[in-house]
Amino acid sequence: MPVYEYSAINPKGKNTTGIIDADSPVVARQKLRSAKIFPVSVREVHETAALKKVSRRWIPARLFNRIRPSEVAVMTRQLATLVGAGFPLVTAIDAILPQARSQGLKGHLSKIKDNVVEGNSFGNALGLFPETFSTLYINLVRAGESSGSLEIVLDQLADMMERQQALKNKIRSALAYPVLMSIIGTGVLFLLLTFIVPSITSIFTDMNRALPGPTRFLIAISDFFKNWWWAFFLIVVVLGIAFCLFKKTSQGRWMVDRFKIRLPFIGPLVRKLAVARFSRTLGTLQENGVPMLQALEIVKNIAGNIIISDAVSEAAAEVGKGHSLGASLGRHPVFPDLFIQMVEVGEQSGELEAMLNKVADVFENETETRITAMASLLEPVMILIMAVVVGFIVLSICLPIFEMNQLVG
């Protein structure tokens, strides 16, 4: 059923906007009038022909109407609150429709509501949009519907998504200042070497005298950036595109993911963060009664690292043969020893779900603490590097001046 965006006047005489599903604009206007809302304009929500033309040429249309994970998290929290308060599912979706910020999410919710009204389950309706709702999301909703605890599942999903989003925001905020300083510092050095240094060093080259080694080195670097800066940036862009294309291949992704978890200092953090995501997701699935083999099949790609995904796939095969989860995961060194020990304790005590969530908390807190500490150390290190580089430039310029003063003296 088409979805229409309307601008109207409510019974209090105030302007209001929203979306409504109807067979035609005429039916949409009739629905609004029956609700005592007087429409001013009604237009169908769809991609314009120009956007489709651009998307065929250059960029996928979904980039222009991308639904962010934070929007899905907010929608899930609102839906959990309304369903928990006793609202029927269709009424709850209708209530949160005007709250959706992106047109894409509004369209998805409208079509999901239509499918539920037609008699389909909520989980199957969500399955129509796998690019927005993950396999984990859909399977948890299905488990909640079958067990009659949809509001609990939605609450757990909202908690998990909000926790992941909060962790991402903390990591981004911790790294924002070092990254900004790197960009500004690189730009300043580029301007110095390309425009300022050549105008100063040209005085020395006109003297036809032997220059100190640091000065000659600085002049060579400056000449390179002045004459070949475009080639330098072209090489960087080509290497970046080649890396992105290589990463999209199966072998390239495997090599990149393997390199990330083997990096000094950063590798252990990447591994713990991936294991925490895997542990949290598996614990949530187990809490909602999803069988272990099915849960492992769902979460094997949640970690975001193909090395860990392959290890989970092999562990799932071992679990299918009757082995314990802890012993199956323990065969792979990619999982930290603490994680294996806590999983084994959880299996022995019958509290695997709680133990998985606990180890996820431990790894997430540890990762956040270490990233914050590393970011705080990066600031003085970057200042020191900038000081050394600028000091070298100043020294290279001053050395010929000192020699000239000695000759004059």
Which of 161, 188, 221 represents a domain boundary (last residue)? Answer: 161
User: Are 74 and 153 found together in one domain?
Assistant: yes
Q: Are residues 173 and 308 in the same domain?
A: yes
Give the DSSP H/E element, type plus range, for residue 21.
strand 15-21
Q: How far is Cα 96 from Cα 83, in angstroms, rounded to an integer?
A: 11
Q: Cα–Cα distances in Å, from 183 out to 122, 228, 266, 288, 328?
A: 46, 20, 21, 46, 45
Report the candidate in 342, 316, 345, 353 with the shortest Cα–Cα distance to residue 331: 316
Residues 43, 103: Cα–Cα separation, whole Å = 13
User: Shortest CA distance to 201 belongs to which of 403, 396, 406, 402?
Assistant: 396
Contacts of 325 (CB under 8 A, 6+ apart): 292, 315, 319, 343, 347, 352
How many domains does the chain contain in total?
Answer: 3
Cβ proximity of 325 and 319 under 8 Å: yes
Task: Extract the tokens encoding 185.
Answer: 């510092």
Same domain for 254 and 358, yes or no, is yes
Q: Based on the domain organization, do 110 and 211 belong to the same domain?
A: no
pLDDT (tens, 9 = 90+) of the chain, 409 residues, equals: 566 777 777 777 777 776 676 777 777 777 777 777 777 778 776 544 333 443 444 444 444 457 888 888 889 999 989 988 888 888 988 888 888 878 888 888 888 988 888 888 898 889 888 888 888 788 888 888 887 888 888 888 888 888 888 888 888 887 888 888 888 888 888 888 888 888 877 777 666 667 788 888 888 888 888 888 888 889 989 999 999 999 888 888 889 888 988 888 888 888 888 888 888 888 888 888 888 888 888 887 777 788 888 898 899 999 999 899 999 999 988 898 989 999 999 999 888 988 998 998 899 888 888 888 888 888 788 888 888 888 888 888 888 877 776 665 5
Boundary-marking domain end, from 121, 140, 161: 161
Q: In this structure, are residues 141 and 128 in contact, taking their beta carbons and an 8 Å threshold? A: no
The answer to whether 335 and 275 have CB atoms below 8 angstroms apart is yes
3-state SS string over 286-353? HHCCCCHHHHHHHHCCCCCCHHHHHHHHHHHHHHHCCCCHHHHHHCCCCCCHHHHHHHHHHHHHCCHH
CA–CA dist 304, 274 (Å, integer): 7
335 and 300 assigned to the same domain = yes
Same domain, 403 and 295: yes
Same domain, 282 and 375: yes
Q: List residues bridging with 7 in a β-sheet.
A: 17, 41
- Which residues form the domain of 229? 164-409
Alpha-carbon Rg for the chain in angstroms: 29
Reference 385, options 176, 186, 177; nearest CA is: 186
Alpha carbon distances (Å) from 356 to 21, 54, 212, 326, 389:
43, 46, 63, 11, 48
84 with 54, same domain: the answer is no
What does the pLDDT read at residue 114? 86
Return the pLDDT at 3.
66
Do both 189 and 57 map to the same domain? no
148 and 277 fall within a common domain: no
Are 222 and 86 in a shared domain? no
Q: Which of 24, 49, 64 is the last residue of a domain?
A: 64
Q: Are residue 184 and residue 331 in the same domain, yes or no?
A: yes
**pLDDT of res. 409:** 52
CATH of residue 75's domain is 1.20.81.30
